[in-house]
Structure 1
Amino acid sequence: MFGKRGVSVVVLRDADVIAEALRDALSSAGEAERPGLERAAALVAEASRTTEAELRGRWTRQRLTDAGHEGPVDSVAAIKALRQAEPGLSLLAAVQLTKEAAA
């Protein structure tokens, strides 16, 4: 009952689907399209290497910016601002997210 609870924040990734679509497009691309598609494929590959913690940190920083929070992202004020911006977040989740955003 009093065990350690994890933070349940789902990170959605479509990089693999997008990468597959780019590979398909590259297989039939003409010479004029190829450089742009190759660049896009490289960007998707780079984005797919982003960790879930980095994605959650980016999301948290954006939510804090949208909420008008200025200052350290792992402060009590940041936790309060995040919970006000996202009322469904538990205190534990908000603390974990702000720690990831600060890292």
Structure 2
Amino acid sequence: MATLFDKRELHVIALSDRDALLGLLRDALDATGADDAERPGLERAVALVAGAPETPQAEMRGRWARERIEAAGAKAEADSVRAIKALRKAEPQLGLYEALILTKEAAAAGGR
């Protein structure tokens, strides 16, 4: 017999500013006419950002959750009951299921 809870999905999206940052760096190179001293640094920054792999959603969510857990002062493993409680206290709109998944992602993301 199927129940309402057979298939759950996480409805939390992590946003990345990578494209916006790349645009700002390119604008600094092109539009403002960077001087000779600034140009090599800006070109290197553009190359680094453009060449960086996109971070998977789960890793970005995990980092965010880890930051929120640590900011709440939880001295526990990222996927522990204490961490879930701290995350839900810091972010009251999260349900138990979301907090559980996010703490698992935080544990998987490690200290990165």
User: Is the TM value for this pair above 0.5?
Assistant: yes
Contact 1:56–1:100, Cα closer than 8 Å, also in 2: yes
Structure-2 residue corresponding to 1:87: 92
Structure-1 residue corresponding to 2:12: 9
Within a 5 Å distance, the mapping from 1:13-28 to structure 2 comes to: 13-27=16-30, 28=33
Pairwise CA distance, 1:42: 3.9
Distance 1:102 1:46, change over 3 A: farther
Question: TM-score by structure 2 length?
Answer: 0.79
Give the 3-state SS of the residue equivalent to 1:25 in structure 2. Answer: helix
Structure-1 residue corresponding to 2:82: 77
Count of residues paired in the alignment: 103
- Structure whose CA Rg is larger: 2
Larger % of helix: which? Answer: 1
Distance 1:46 1:63, change over 3 A: farther
Structure 1, unmatched stretches of 5+, are none
Pairwise CA distance, 1:2: 3.0
Question: TM-score by structure 1 length?
Answer: 0.85
Structure 2, unmatched stretches of 5+, are none
Percentage of pairs with the same residue: 58
Pairwise CA distance, 1:20: 2.1
**Once superposed, what is the RMSD of the aligned Cα atoms?**
1.9
Distance in 2 separating the partners of 1:72 and 1:2:
27
Structure-2 residue corresponding to 1:34: 39
Contact 1:16–1:48, Cα closer than 8 Å, also in 2: no
Residue type at the aligned position of 2:59 = E
